[in-house]
Amino acid sequence: MTTWLVASVLAATASAAPSSEAAFAASAAAVSASMSASFKLASWNETDALLDLLRDPDAEVRRQAVRSLKAWVAQRSSTRDRIMDVYRNRNEELAVRREAAKTLSVVSGYTEVYRALLEQAERGSDAGLRAISYKSLYWTASQRSDVRNDLLDAARRESDPAVRRAAIWGLFAAANDNRVQDALEDIARRDHDQNARVEALKSLYGGMGSPSVRGLAYDLARNTAEKADVRRTAILMHANRVQSSQEDLLKDIAARDREPAMRQAAILALGNPRAEEISTYFHLLRRDQNGVLVNDPLDAE
């Protein structure tokens, strides 16, 4: 149910970026109406019961309550405000605050929310909370150029490697933006941090329709001198293929490569591009058999 809401917000707004907070609010309201019909108008008492649990003495109970409220945070501003209070509370357990960041991702189109996430991501004291704050901006980064610019700046200049990779992760839904492509391609080709190179490639998966992204993945995949993790990711990127030359490359690697891990990656990429392993690796938004989005990549973080 939680993931369905996130998917609905994404699906409802994918056709056009909201030009204002009012537009985002209208979109969220439409999602709330649709969700209410699907769940037969869940009682406000149900939401209030979860909100009451935010005061429970057990931190794990509070964390689970915050997680469950992800399904309802878009329905009432008062619910959103309560989750914001949890997120900002320095006396709260970090695990609970990290969960609050993920819940706020659903309403990150609101100015106060994305500014709070950005402030924590850029200036917070805990690396884990900073990282999940950047990741929780993935949808808004795909819609707003100012948020996208902040993530791009962090992807280039952030000094903490894990936080930097989180900013790169947060750009995956904006993979078709030319500036995002240029920055991620540069990181993937020549960055000193191998893990950052892998993360950049993963975030470029949705941009494989671009000749430059496709060429980068092709070059890295066939380069037997390349770092193993980088090359394997480049091979897997070809699951999202648009040209026969990509399939020929996968077949050649699967049949002849000296490295078993590369052969296995090529075989996986030759299979179903919607396979769960591919979707999970590239933190994609998955659809069910009816075409409805059902997976929020933050659930795995």
DSSP labels for 213-237?
Answer: HHHHHHHHHH-TTS-HHHHHHHHHH
d(CA 98, CA 86): 10
- Cβ contact 220:191 at 8 Å: no
Identify the weakest region by mean pLDDT among 105-114, 146-155, 264-273: 264-273
3-class secondary-structure state, position 290: coil
Rounded Cα gap, residues 9 and 73, in angstroms:
12
pLDDT exceeds cutoff 80 at 11:
no
Whether pLDDT at 39 is above 60: no
From CA 66, how far away is CA 82, in angstroms rounded? 10
- Distance, C-alpha 185 to centroid of its chain: 18
180 touches 210 (CB < 8 A): no
Structure tokens at 248: 């020929």
Q: Give the pTM.
A: 0.84
pLDDT, residue 38, reads: 39
**How much of the chain exceeds pLDDT 70, in percent?**
83
Tokens 């969220």 locate to 28
Angle between helices 211-222 and 178-190 (to 10 degrees): 10
SS3 89: coil
* 194 pLDDT above the threshold of 60: yes
Q: Nearest to residue 9, comparing CAs of 173, 167, 128?
A: 173
